[in-house]
Amino acid sequence: MTTDQVLEIEFPVMRYDITMPILEGRVDIDGVKLRPVKLSSMINKEDPKMKAGEFGLCDLNIGYWLPAIEAGWEIVGLPIFSKRKPVYQLIFTHADSGIRSPKDLEGKKVGSRTYRTALTVWARGLLQDRHGVDLSKIQWIVQAKEVFPVHDPTAKIEYVDDKKNMVERMIAAELDAIITDISDTKLFETLETHPKVKRLFPDYFGEDQKLYRETGIYTPVHMIVMSRKLDRKRPDLAAKFYTAFEQAKQIACDDILSDRGGFSVVYLRERMKEQITVWSDPWKYGLKANKSTIDAFIKYNLEQGMVRSQFFYGDLFAAGMLDT
């Protein structure tokens, strides 16, 4: 293939070990040159490029995936879940709130940075489905305003300013609980050591493994999406990207199992082997391997009023992905 036939594609800068081999040039994509760019995984405001499909690939928080497609944005999914994060470990309560079980959340004030992110959609869905929580009885306190509408008339949502974060608000007893993603060392330390903070699920390891054993779900929070405009123009690309991400994941796994992985975890190789024994491949890609996960996420979006449309896979994924 000649140089002038090579297609340059915007590729999100991601620090996940399972995607890094692509950025490092260890995976070749025939006819494609990647141009790394910094892109937000969140949609907190109108994004003209994403809306018009004027981009290549994006590492998107899947809380925005279905609403954006319903709103007519020119994006389409690839069943490549680049980031997964367990939900149960990120539900905290105030020690004096009287919350001892999931049902005790009813009638309480529950805080979150945003109402729509993947983690909060998953948490609400699991609390309702597996623990019998009536979501309409919870008062939600959130900070980030929504780009897309919430269609559930029973949802009680109050917006507050960001002068204090949700952890500070809960410690001050302004909130009874929080369900929110934490990617901050100091906040995690506060949540795990403050005498007024308790986990709703102290054995969150056990809850996550039970969920996985019974449903096959290890909750994804990010997924690779591509421009629908690009997919129409070059329907061969989706399969090329999918193959590249599969190869990258295998390289990352081999790095660890061959003791080449440069991570600061003692006995990383042995821990990986233990994980494979218990979980097999929790990072699996493809529609068939993730059917229960995708179907549950669509269901939770509909139940929570994140969207109103009943989607089919052909509406959501690149055509070249429907047989994966």
Would you state the structure tokens that stand for residue 137, as one six-digit string? 């009885």
pLDDT digits 0-9 by tens, 119-135: 999 999 999 999 999 99
In the chain, the domains with their CATH numbers are 3-84+219-321 (3.40.190.10), 88-215 (3.40.190.10)
- Candidates 133, 129, 141, 124; CA nearest to 106 is 133
| pLDDT given at position 243 | 98
Span 108-113, average pLDDT: 96
**CA 130, 296, 215, 114 torsion-angle sign:** negative
| pLDDT given at position 182 | 83
Span 182-206, average pLDDT: 93
* CA dist list (Å): 66 to 8, 86, 157: 27, 21, 20
Would you state the structure tokens that stand for residue 132, as one six-digit string? 């019998």
Would you state the structure tokens that stand for residue 59, as one six-digit string? 């590492």
Span 178-202, average pLDDT: 92
Specify which residues 59 forms β-bridges with.
224
Q: What does the H/E/C string look like for 181-238?
A: CCCCHHHHHHHHHCCCEEECCCCHHHHHHHHHHHHCCCCEEEEEEEEHHHHHHCCCHH
Span 155-175, average pLDDT: 96
Check pLDDT > 90 for residue 32: yes
Contact 111, 167 (CB under 8 A): no
The model's confidence at residue 277, banded by pLDDT at 50, 70 and 90, is very high
Span 133-158, average pLDDT: 96
Kindly report the average pLDDT of the chain as a whole number. Answer: 95
Residue % of the chain over a pLDDT of 70: 99
Check pLDDT > 70 for residue 204: yes
Contact 24, 11 (CB under 8 A): no
Check pLDDT > 70 for residue 4: no
The model's confidence at residue 113, banded by pLDDT at 50, 70 and 90, is very high
| pLDDT given at position 1 | 47
Q: Give the least confident one: 32-36, 103-107, 183-187.
A: 183-187
The number of residues in the chain equals 324
- Candidates 72, 170, 155; CA nearest to 120 is 155
Check pLDDT > 90 for residue 184: no
Measure the CA angle with vertex 68, ends 66 and 73; round to 5°. 130
Specify which residues 110 forms β-bridges with.
140, 177
- Rounded to whole angstroms, how far apart are CA atoms 110 and 141? 6
E strands, 164-315, where? Answer: 177-179, 197-199, 220-227
CA dihedral 24, 30, 31, 32 (to 10 degrees): -30
The model's confidence at residue 263, banded by pLDDT at 50, 70 and 90, is confident
Q: Quick one: DSSP state of residue 197?
A: E
Would you state the structure tokens that stand for residue 141, as one six-digit string? 């306190």
Residue 51, phi then psi, degrees to nearest 5: -60, -40
| pLDDT given at position 44 | 87
E strands, 87-174, where? Answer: 91-94, 109-112, 139-142, 156-159
